[in-house]
Structure formats: C-alpha cells, structure tokens
Structure 1
Amino acid sequence: MTKIEPAYSTHLRHVAIEAVMSVQDQLLAAFRSPMQRGFKRDHRDIVTIHDKAAEKRIVEVLQKNEPNSVVIGEEHGLQGSGKLKWYVDPIDGTANFARGLASWCVSVGAVYEDDIVAGAILDPVGGNLFSADLSGAYLGENAIISQAEGQEEDATLISTYPSARDIQQDGRARALDRFGQLVETFSSVRRNGSAALGIAHVAAGWSDAAAGFSVNAWDVTAAILILRQSGGSYQAFPEGSDAPHHLSAYTAVGAGGSYPTLKGIAEQISSGRT
C-alpha cells in the first residue's frame, strides 16, 4: 500500500515535470550539433558532456524542491539522503542523441519506500511530456488511457533485444532464435533505443508492447508508473518483486493485449540468467 497522500504525489509529479523541462532548451540546442563522445563500459555505452550537464541541472531542481531526498542519477550516482528517492536519466537514448536520431528522452521518477509515486518523461524533439502520479497518467495536461491490439499477430513490439550485451549473456544462437520468434509472431518489431520512451509510447497507445532485458532503475522508474496509471501492465522478471524498477528485465503491454510468446521468451531469458 502506498505510504503517501495523493496530494503529495501530485506535488512530486509537478516537481518531476519542472526538472525535465528545465533541461529542454539546452538539450535541443545541443542536439544535432558537433559534440565529443566519451565511453563508459565499452564503445557502445556512449556518454556526452550534455548528459552530465543536464543531470547536474535536474539535481539542482529536485534538491531545491525536496531537499530531504536522495537523487540517484545515471551519470553522478547517489546524492543526498531521505526516504524519498529520485531516479534520473538525463538522456535515455544517448547513442541516438549523439548521432542525431530523434529517439531520446529525459526521465525523472520519484520513489517513496520502494513505491513509485510520481514521474515525468520529456521527449524534447517530439514535444511530448508524459507524467503520472497516484491520480493517473497524462500526456501534457490530458489523461491518457492505454489501448493495445488483443493478439500478437496484430501488435507492434518495441524492443532492443538482442543487444550486444544480451548476445554475450545468452549466446548468439539462442538470442537470435528468440528474436526470430518475436519477428515471426508480431506484426512488427521496432528498435527505438530508449526504454523509457518505448514504455511511454505503450502507455499512450502508440505501440502495443515493449520489452527489455538489461535496463537500470533510472531507465524505467517513471515509465512504470506512467504505463500502470494509463491502464497498461508492466511485468518485471523474475516475477514476484515488490520493487520492479530494481529488476533489469521487463515486458510492458498496453491494456487489452495478451502476448504469450513475448511472456514466454521473457521468462526464458530471465530464468537463464539467474
């Protein structure tokens, strides 16, 4: 049971919105401009000065509004202390951002004692602001209700599986066989390179399902609440966790969708890694 009042959840949603909006102009100014790229784990894990600068600005906004809180960011790690935690991804889809592909977003999610209570995702290029609190999910100021195709053969799936990391973990033959099953089963499979944005699109009814198997909490925290409050379902794997944002594998399905092939493959991937 959620441990905060709905009014406080709404306040936190507005703080999250303020935070993501605070970096809109600077990121749009940098997008498709010359930029240096750095790397974290390997040559596929790109970071730019804009990721770091945007996260710094977001942290300032969050700590101004909620000084007794923890900020957990992709670039700068953990800052502060308190029961309220903010999970921040300043650019989800950095590889796209750095290359000039318009599929990236800014994500801020609020968690109180492991319950996700508010969040906001900004797609600066598309001009779309997704948000949620305990009262519902919103696109701009309008409530959104998720809606998906009922059957897999009619549905569109967004998934980055298999990534290079997935192939390393699961084996090339097994990973590509699973990908082939998804391609053969769904009407279409798309790779957008941003977990948060893909899940938000499912919430808005613009896609039917999304799936990923190597995400972090800052990628999905805000998106989980947005999807669930829109009426969709988010399933983390292994199943049974009370804190789904801490698990690296998920399926996200719009309301009305039933996709047994996707669920079965997600279970296979998850069980093979535990």
Structure 2
Amino acid sequence: MDVTGLLDTAAEAARAAGPRLRKAFRTRPGVSTKHDFHDPVTEHDRAAEESIRAVIDSRAPGSVIVGEEGGTTGSGELTWYVDPIDGTANFAAGLPFFCVSVAVAVRGELMAGVVYDPVREEEFTAGPDGARCNGAPLRSQGAARDREAVLLSSFPTPADVESRADAALHRYGRFLTSFAAVRKPGSAALMLAYVAAGWADAAYGTRSKPWDVAAGALLVSRAGGVYLGDPLAGGDYLAHVGGFDLRASALAEVAPH
C-alpha cells in the first residue's frame, strides 16, 4: 500500500476546498440547520465536500467516502473520512478557527490524515514519516501538570447539559479550577492538531463523529502524543501531549478506557 500516495491525495483533496472557503470567509453566508439550531450548515460545507470528493474519486476510485454532508458512498478497502468545514459556526460568524479534515483508513486502520487551516494556510499532515505542519516535523510536547497546562475542549455541549446538567457543569468547573487555562475554540480537528504541535497540552470532547477526529487522532499519535478513544467509531475522546501526567489530572475521571 502506497501510504505516501494516500497522504498526497488527502492533502490535495483538503486543499481543493481552500480557495472557496477563503473567498467566502467573513461574508456572513446564509446558515441553515441540521439536527437543531446548534448544528449549522452552509452552502459552502456542501460545495467544499463536493470538491473534496471529486479529488478522491479521481485519485482513488473505488473508495468508500464517509462525509459529514454527503453520508457514506462507495465500496472497497479504502475508507476516507471527510469534514469539509470542521467549525462551521466559527466559519459562518467570521471567527478564524475552522479547518478541513481528511483521513484515510485501510481495512479499518488509519494510515494518513490532513487537517488544513485555509485562513492561516497551515497544513498538518500525518503519514508514514510522522506528523508535520507545512513540512516541519511536529513533536507533541508541553506541560506535565494541569496547573501549567492549556486544555482545549468542546465540553460541555448542549447535549451534555441537557442530559446531565449538574454533573456536566460540575465537571466543567473542575476543569476551570484545575487547568491554567481552558478554551472552547470550536473545532475538534484543529484542537487535536494543536495538541500534536504542542501549542495546547490537552483536548477533550464528547459525542464526536469519525470525520471530526480521525485525522487529528493520527496527528497526535504520530507526533508522539497520546490519543484515547476510537477515532473511527467517534464518541468521547481525550488527547494530550507526551509526558503529561494524566493520572494526576482532572481529566483522569473522563479518560476513555
């Protein structure tokens, strides 16, 4: 299996969405919703995914594509996980924290992934030779303890609060008082890329989908960090830089086993 070729295809596919997203950014595009008003989508999500799918279909015909907007199509040993805009709410509002995420698995094993920030032109890649950002090697290193660490988290989501409000808010309060800083930036894939780069020390999220975390999970692992959870199944996940003391962390109680 030519993993380098798969990575090249993932990078080309992710970058194919870039020109449209940069042009549309801060134009306040029209927003509709999917499951509820917390789950926005724009015409650019759909168009970007079409561009990504076109590249994959041309470079790796006979693949399965699992996309946030287009669902699951195709068949074969290769499965591509595509999020055309991870952080749609940020994109629609004009906040520059969103990305394109493309990952590929071979018979259920993640092999390559790309997280592409079209505003900053930062391309995070995970492949056979490790993890990189614009070609420079990444090392997932940072703080060892909560009190020195920056936590990026989507928790609590509205669904977390609706299902167990007291427990969710209590847990969030624990994070706020334990970590040096807690930020809720709004893109799981980009949060994981930042942990891979050592720009943040930990990331935690609930109720994720495979297209949210597949590429980011591989980035963290290939950069020498730790990813806990099943990126191809979704659900809860936790990631941290290498050397972080999880056992002594407030995150220990939510670490996926």
Structure 2 length-normalised TM: 0.97
How far 1:52 moved relative to its partner?
Answer: 0.1
Kindly indicate whether residue 32 of structure 2 is the aligned counterpart of residue 38 of structure 1. yes
Q: Which residue of 1 aligns with 2:173?
A: 180
Q: Which residue of 2 aligns with 1:160?
A: 154
Distance in 1 of aligned mates of 2:62 and 2:125: 22
Distance in 2 of aligned mates of 1:262 and 1:92: 27
Q: Which residue of 1 aligns with 2:41?
A: 47
How far 1:263 moved relative to its partner?
Answer: 3.5
Distance in 2 of aligned mates of 1:26 and 1:108: 17
How far 1:244 moved relative to its partner?
Answer: 3.5
Distance in 2 of aligned mates of 1:127 and 1:34: 21
Distance in 1 of aligned mates of 2:146 and 2:178: 6
Match of 2:239 among 243, 252, 259: 252
SS of residue paired to 1:189: strand
Q: Which residue of 1 aligns with 2:224?
A: 231
Partner amino acid for 1:159?
S
Q: Which residue of 2 aligns with 1:240?
A: none
Distance in 2 of aligned mates of 1:72 and 1:49: 19
Kindly indicate whether residue 197 of structure 2 is the aligned counterpart of residue 204 of structure 1. yes
Distance in 1 of aligned mates of 2:138 and 2:15: 20
State whether residues 167 and 175 of structure 1, in contact with CA within 8 Å, keep that contact through their aligned partners in structure 2: yes
| Unmatched 5+ stretches in structure 2 | none
Distance in 1 of aligned mates of 2:189 and 2:217: 9
Q: Which residue of 2 aligns with 1:239?
A: none
How far 1:134 moved relative to its partner?
Answer: 2.1
Aligned-residue Cα RMSD (Å) equals: 1.3
Distance in 1 of aligned mates of 2:35 and 2:60: 32
State whether residues 158 and 211 of structure 1, in contact with CA within 8 Å, keep that contact through their aligned partners in structure 2: yes
Partner amino acid for 1:225?
L
Taking only the aligned residue pairs, the percentage that are identical comes to 39
Distance in 2 of aligned mates of 1:227 and 1:202: 7
Partner amino acid for 1:214?
R
Q: Which residue of 2 aligns with 1:264?
A: 252
Match of 1:70 among 50, 64, 67: 64
Q: Which residue of 1 aligns with 2:7?
A: 13
| Unmatched 5+ stretches in structure 1 | 237-242
Query: How many residues in Structure 1 have an aligned counterpart in Structure 2?
Result: 256
SS of residue paired to 1:88: strand
State whether residues 224 and 245 of structure 1, in contact with CA within 8 Å, keep that contact through their aligned partners in structure 2: no
Structure 1 length-normalised TM: 0.91
Q: List per-residue Cα deviations over 1:168-206 (Å, max 9, x = no partner).
A: 22x111100000001111100000100000000000010
Q: Which residue of 2 aligns with 1:81?
A: 75
After the TM superposition, list the runs of 4 or more consecutive aligned residues in structure 1 that deviate by more than 4 angstroms. none
State whether residues 202 and 253 of structure 1, in contact with CA within 8 Å, keep that contact through their aligned partners in structure 2: yes
SS of residue paired to 2:50: helix
